Amino acid sequence: MERYTIIQTIKKAILKGESTFQGISLPSKQSAGTYFQQTTYAQIQAQKVYEQHFVKFNH
């Protein structure tokens, strides 16, 4: 899967309130705020999960 697709899939899982994605713990869904605020939060969190678990660092 490409980066965008993985992040969007993680974002949708967060918005659905799922607790894991491919065995990785997900943050809980934001319960307050407008729909835009909730989706923005989910997008940011999805990017963090992607960077922590899917990006291979070359050190």
Query: pLDDT tens for residues 4-52?
Result: 999 999 999 999 999 999 999 999 999 999 999 999 999 999 999 999 9
Q: What is the pLDDT of residue 59?
A: 42
Give 50's contacts (C-beta < 8 A, 6+ positions apart). 3, 6, 7, 10
- pTM across the whole model: 0.89
Position 40 in a domain = yes
Establish if 33 belongs to a structural domain.
Answer: yes
Domain ranges, residue 27: 3-53
Residue 20 lies in a domain: yes
Residue 59 lies in a domain: no
**Is there a domain that residue 13 lies in?**
yes
Q: What local confidence, expressed as pLDDT, does residue 28 receive?
A: 96
Q: CA separation (Å) from 33 to 43, 45, 54?
A: 15, 16, 29
Q: Is residue 35 domain-resident?
A: yes
Interatomic CA distance for residues 8 and 59, integer angstroms: 27
- pLDDT attached to residue 1: 77
**Which distant-in-sequence residues (6+ apart) come within 8 Å of 3 by Cβ?**
50, 54
Domain assignment present for residue 42? The answer is yes
58 has pLDDT over 50: no
Query: Total domain count for the chain?
Result: 1
